[in-house]
């Protein structure tokens, strides 16, 4: 449904997006996961036809967005990272305006507006001015604007930033429902939990490049890991690092002055053997936590840094 081929965009000497390619199947929820500044928003801006790429192309439903922008945009729903609503208008005014841009009018527009407001739970506040809404309500209205015209493809750019857990759950639930209805979803986030819970496939992005693409299982297998050990202690002595690296059955994903992250190699001796060795190595470990392999560890194994960095 979405094909992105060799997309590039630079701002001066900074390559914000560098040779990015991926494809999203119809009805799939595809996640673009990466830290802030990874190039996710720049990619979305090019995919939805707002920012012209320096190179590459974007095909949505067999049409190139830069060759047939209006035709493609009619099939797209976009929910931006920043809340983009007219605060001095009511929720219904906003939706009426937005619907009219997609050619909806009369009874059709009214029924779509009512339906969308019900979907995001804002029916009771339809006549209130948006400036009186909480951040979460504004986010839900913004999502509503993206869904109003029943798009075939929904692009969501970090739609849960800065909202309370309840509103976040509501948004994720709506996204699942939309995808269940056959809409293709491209979802960018830097919250790995969201990507894990929501996405059928995930692309991990950093410094403008796609590092890897796959399902959650594929990605964790790709990293070749079993459990992940997260050690807290005083690791600024280079000799401690050497001893960490010399341990059998583990792979050092990351080490800095206070934190060391080790993965227990799949097919190796296993956690029960490795953990006593680590503790006996006199590394000055103050605390240990054990995690199942997840996107965080995959990201660390790919980049040497944690996602929140």
Partner 1 sequence: MAGLDILRRDLLRYWRNPIRTALLFAMPLVIAGVFALAFGGGGGDQISIKILLFDEDDSLLSRFLEGAGGSSQRDQKLEVVPVGEEGYEMMERGEASALIHLPQGFTTDFLDGTPTTIGVVKNPSERFLPKIVDEGARIGAVGLSEASRVFRAELAQIGDFTREEKFPADLAVAGLSSGVNNKLKGLERFLFPPVVTLESVSLRSEGGEEEDSDFNILAYVLPGFSVMGILFLAQSATRDILRDRESGLLRQLLTAPVSVNDYVGGKCLSVFAVTALGFALFVIIGLAAGIRWGPAPAVVALMLASALAAAGLLILIMSLVGSERQGDTLTTIVIIVSSMLGGAFMPVSQMPAFLTPISAATPVYWSTEGFAKLIIHGGGLGDIVLNLAVLSIVGAALMLIGALILKRKIERGAL
Least distance from partner 1 to the Cβ atom of residue 79, Å: 9
Provide, rounded to whole angstroms, the least separation between the CB of residue 144 and partner 1: 13
With respect to partner 1, which residue has the nearer C-beta, 154 or 255?
154
Nearest CA among 165, 72, 151, 74 for reference residue 116: 151
Cβ closest to partner 1, residue 49 vs residue 208: 49
- 105 vs 118, beta carbon nearer partner 1: 105
Least distance CB 186 / partner 1 (angstroms)? 13
CB nearer to partner 1: pick between 163 and 202: 163
Distance CA 191, CA 212 (A): 17
**How many residues in the chain?**
309
User: Helix 135-147 and helix 165-180: axis angle, to 10°?
Assistant: 10
Q: What's the CA gap between 251 and 228, in Å, rounded?
A: 9
Give the CA count within 13 Å in the CB-facing half-sphere of 294: 17
Interface residues with partner 1 (CB under 8 A) are: 45, 48-52, 69-71, 73-74, 76, 78, 80-86, 88-90, 93, 97-98, 100-103, 129, 145, 155
Residue 239 beta carbon to partner 1: minimum distance, rounded to whole angstroms:
51
Give a three-class secondary structure readout of 130-148.
HHHCCHHHHHHHHHHHHHC
Q: 3-class SS at 262?
A: strand
Q: How far is the CB of 59 from partner 1 (least distance, A)?
A: 17
CB nearer to partner 1: give 103 or 284.
Answer: 103
């Amino acid at each position: 449904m979405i094909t992105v081929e060799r997309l590039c965009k630079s701002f001066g000497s900074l390559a914000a997006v560098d040779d990015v390619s991926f494809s999203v199947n119809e009805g799939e929820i595809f996640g673009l996961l990466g830290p802030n500044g990874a190039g996710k928003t720049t990619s979305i801006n090019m995919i939805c036809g707002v920012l012209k790429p320096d190179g590459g192309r974007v095909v949505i439903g067999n049409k190139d967005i830069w060759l047939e922008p209006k035709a493609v945009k009619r099939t797209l729903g976009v929910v931006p990272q920043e809340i983009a609503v007219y605060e001095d208008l009511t929720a219904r005014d906003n939706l009426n305006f937005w619907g009219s841009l997609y050619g909806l009018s009369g009874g059709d527009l009214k029924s779509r507006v009512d339906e969308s407001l019900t979907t995001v739970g804002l029916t009771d506040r339809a006549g209130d001015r948006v400036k009186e809404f909480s951040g979460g309500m504004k986010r839900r209205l913004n999502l509503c604007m993206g869904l109003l015209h029943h798009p075939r493809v929904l692009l969501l750019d970090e739609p849960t930033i800065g909202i309370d857990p309840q509103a976040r759950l509501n948004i994720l639930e709506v996204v699942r429902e939309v995808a269940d209805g056959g809409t293709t979803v491209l979802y960018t986030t830097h919250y790995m939990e969201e990507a894990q819970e929501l996405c059928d496939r995930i692309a991990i992005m950093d410094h403008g490049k796609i590092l890897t693409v796959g399902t959650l299982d594929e990605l964790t297998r790709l990293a070749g890991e079993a459990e992940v050990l997260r050690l807290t202690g005083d690791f600024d002595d280079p000799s401690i690092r050497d001893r960490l690296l010399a341990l059998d059955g583990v792979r050092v994903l990351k080490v800095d002055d206070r934190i060391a992250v080790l993965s227990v190699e799949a097919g190796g001796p296993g956690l029960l053997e490795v953990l006593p060795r680590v503790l006996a190595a006199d590394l000055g470990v103050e605390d240990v936590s054990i995690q199942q392999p997840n996107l965080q560890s995959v990201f660390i194994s790919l980049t040497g840094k944690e996602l929140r960095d």
